[in-house]
Structure 1
Amino acid sequence: MKNILAFLYQWLIFVPIFVVITIITALTVMLMAPLFGSKFWGYYPPKWWSRLTCWLALCRIKTKGHENLNPRQSYVFVANHQSAFDIFLVYGFLNQNVKWMQKQSLRKIPFVGFASEKAGHVFVDNTNPKLRAASLKKAEEQIVDGVSMVIFPEGARTRSGAMGQFKRGAYYVAHDLKLPVVPLTINGAYDVLKRDGFRLKPGKMELVIHPPIPTESLTESEIPALIEETRDAIYTGLWEKYK
């Protein structure tokens, strides 16, 4: 009976409302961001869209570590990637004006892809080194006036709940702009909605914000050590079942 009620809630309540608020949010960003700038209109409507999505999915949210951040400082946030709900958790509850570095394939999503472009998010083209470098350059242009960038260094959602290897792109952005790197640990999103799954399972999600790691004196040869430092920090915050 419980499974039947959950199925009915997901497809008769959650999905229809989610589609409606997604279209409304996307249209708002598409119309307002080009006219009045993406710093406000590319952040606040999606932030509340993300919060509403988490609440509508009946998820309980816990965050800690906000005291580690300065809202006027730009950062490069790096996080483990458990689920599509990672985006809702971070966007909705990090409380930091952020842009996202996203896969090029997400540009094709109706409404959302175009709205993401107008909001100033960056689509990474990995088809060749030249296009990848151009993507990184565009990412650097977005991180100004207290706006930060969120990047998933794994590049794809986990299939098991455990972390994969981290790629270097996020760290080159931080190195080039001399911005602090902030590790974020995401817990619980994997159980809410698994990769390639369609069954929504309401539960607890947690966002852990670790202390920023400065990069002012970082050399390119030290980037591998920085990757390991951030990965270790994220790992310490994981729930035991994800380690």
Structure 2
Amino acid sequence: MKKITKALYFVYQWLIAGPIFVVVTFLTAIVTAIGSLTGNKDFWGYYPPHYWARFTCILFLMRVKVYGRENIDKKTSYVFVANHQGAYDIWSIYGYLNHNFKWLMKKELEKIAMVGWACKCAGQVFVDDSTIGGIKETIAEAEQTLRHGMSLVIFPEGSRSWDGKMIPFKRGAFMLAGEFKLPVVPVTVDGSFQAMPRSTYNMTPTTIRITIHKPIYPGERGFNTKLLMAQCREAISSALPPEERD
């Protein structure tokens, strides 16, 4: 029975849901880009992709549960720091965090057809860490974005996990967080690896759990980078099964 169900889902994914996803993604990118170019990037850069992400989770039969929304205030700017199990981290956070934000994205994602253009128009922050000048430019761009009361989402692992376990965090994300002097919110995503591992495009319907932890506030002298990194890792790990923590 499980094999039959899996086969049916395989057909559904590639012959029905997949084509619909491509068309909706294309339309969302156009709406986001044109809307952002006409003004109010904060609205057009968030709400069309927000509903696109929710639609994507529903379309591929993923259930998303969110815990800890009471820990954040919609009117406050944060730097959200999340683990990165798989592609569904992006769709589940975009669709269900329910807090307007910009992504801190890899520079190479700017090259994705239509999507990269839409992200650029929407004011997403692209990271160029290949040179010192690129890092400084990233900081300046991010500071300009956050100056208007926007929040930011960062994946400090830098890339998706190959086996579902957390990989070492990069210090750069926490150095940036220290520069912004905003409260940092650890976010745990669990179930994304089971939904679609990095090694395949085949999906498995499952439940994805997002846990929003309590904010970590900077002191008078800002953040201690190593301490902040350890605190965030500990908080994120606390909501993961033991086998996925390291």
TM-score range, shorter chain: over 0.9
SS in 1 for 2:9: helix
Equivalent position to 2:133, from 126, 130, 134: 130
TM-score by length of 2: 0.95
SS at match of 1:102: strand
Unaligned 5+ runs, structure 1: none
Q: Distance in 1 between matches of 2:221 and 2:91?
A: 31
Q: Percent identity of the aligned residues?
A: 43
Give per-residue Cα distances to partners, 1:11-57, cap 9 Å, x unaligned: 01111110011011100011111112211000000000000000111
Q: Secondary structure at the match of 1:4?
A: helix
Deviation at 1:165, TM superposition (A): 1.0
In the aligned structure 1, how far is the partner of 2:32 from the partner of 2:175? 29
Contact 1:29 1:119 in 2 (8 A): yes
State how far apart, in whole Å, the 1-side matches of 2:221 and 2:178 are: 7
- The SS at the match of 2:152 is strand
For 2:184, which of 176, 181, 184 is the aligned residue?
A: 181
**Residues 168-203 of structure 1: CA deviation (Å, up to 9, x unaligned):** 222223222210000000000001011131111110
C-alpha distance in 1 between matches for 2:171 and 2:136: 12
Once the two structures are superposed, residues 56-105 of structure 1 have per-residue CA deviations (whole angstroms, 9 ceiling, x without a partner) of: 11011110111011111100000000001101010100010010011111
Quote the residue 1:91 is aligned against. Answer: 94
Residues 181 and 222, structure 2, Cα contact 8 Å, conserved in 1: no
Post-superposition offset of 1:147: 1.5
Distance in 2 (CA, whole Å) between partners of 1:105 and 1:3 is 34
The 2-side partners of 1:163 and 1:154 are apart by 8
**Other structure's SS at 2:38 match:** helix
* 2:227 corresponding residue in structure 1: 225
1:195 and 2:198 matched: yes
Query: 1:36 is paired with a residue of what secondary structure?
Result: coil
1:206 paired to 2:209: yes
| TM score, norm. by length of structure 1 | 0.96
Structure 1 residues 35-50: aligned runs within 5 Å? 35-50=38-53
- Quote the Cα distance in structure 2 between the aligned partners of 1:203 and 1:170: 29
TM-superposed deviation, 1:126: 1.9
> Displacement of 1:218 after TM fit?
4.2
After TM superposition, list the pairs within 5 Å mapping 1:55-204 onto structure 2.
Answer: 55-204=58-207
Unpaired runs of 5+ residues, structure 2, are none
CA drift at 1:159? 0.6
Offset at 1:241? 3.6
Paired position in structure 2 for 1:239:
241
Q: CA deviation at 1:140?
A: 1.7
Distance 2:82 2:180 in 1: 19
Question: C-alpha deviations, 1:185-240, integer Å up to 9, x for none?
Answer: 000000101113111111010100000000142446x2101100010000001133
| 2:83–2:155 Cα contact (<8 Å) kept | yes
Paired residue total: 242
Measured in 2, the distance between the counterparts of 1:57 and 1:216 equals: 43
Task: Report what 1:5 is aligned to.
Answer: 8
Give the alignment's Cα RMSD to 1 decimal.
Answer: 1.2
Given candidates 28, 32, 41, the residue that maps to 2:31 is 28
* Partner-residue secondary structure (3-state), 1:146: coil
